Amino acid sequence: MIKYFHIARIALQDHMSHIIRQATRFMVFMLQVSVMTIMWRMIYQSGYGPSEISFTNMCWYLGFAQMVLFLSPRLVSVIDYDVRSGNVAYFLTRPIPYLWMRFAEGTGALIGMCGLYFTLGTAFIYFFAGGWPDSGIMTVFVVLSSLFIASLIHLMFQLSCGLSAFWTHEANIVYYAYQKMFILFGGCYMPLSLYPSFFGGDVLKFLPFSAMMNGPCSLVFADNLGTAWVQLIFLQIFWYGVAGLLAYKIYDTCLRRVEVNGG
């Protein structure tokens, strides 16, 4: 475990050393949050906003939903490059499993992103929302803890998407399809409770996309925060295990394919 800790630490230092890149990424985050909150402000002012969700709570939901998309590093692009360039063959000869080495690097970068977005990002959402969620400031800390777990699940799925380059030779295509489903079925632009009935919102709540986005973000207007948080944690643990098992199985299949082809 010590070796993975050092890999994560080095990745954290390297990721945060690119100040211009992180600043640009954060500016895009602020733009996204601004557009979404302004759009929903117009909806509420026109009288079409959902009565069960206050504008302040909706702002926090939208801000947290955007935060999910920006927290995790683009691990899939790194793996895609390794596979297509052939560098993965070099990494496979190392005593550290390639899969978990990349996951440790992604976790280190994720921690750095959390430090930025959990502080400045939360302050920016507070500015646009005009106050804390109706349930209080403690809700924010609960949501942030859930977003960290959600980002770990997202990293696991990125591993699977990246390893698909062994077959597709272009992992970003698979990732884009996954990302679009994440945005649509995760509730990026509105809570799943507001989706039309034909979307099957009650079913979507149990999918991994909801465990990563709608579930954590919806805690801001949960009737019983403690119960909702515990239920979400169990759902996230389940999908974290499924995503990890999926990534491992794909990785194991890739190893056998390399051995069969004389790699």
Residues 26, 120 contacting (CB under 8 angstroms): yes
Confidence of residue 142 (pLDDT cuts 50, 70, 90): very high
Q: What percent of the chain has pLDDT over 70?
A: 97
Q: Which residue, chain included where needed, has tokens 């926090």?
A: 60
Tokens coding 76: 């899939």
pTM: predicted TM-score of the whole model, two decimal places: 0.92
- CA 32 – CA 248 distance, rounded (Å): 34
- Mind listing the pLDDT tens digit for each residue in 198-231? 776 678 889 999 999 999 999 999 888 899 999 9
pLDDT, mean of residues 71-88: 86
- Mind listing the pLDDT tens digit for each residue in 19-73? 898 899 999 999 999 999 999 999 999 988 898 899 999 999 999 999 999 998 8
- CA 248 – CA 263 distance, rounded (Å): 19
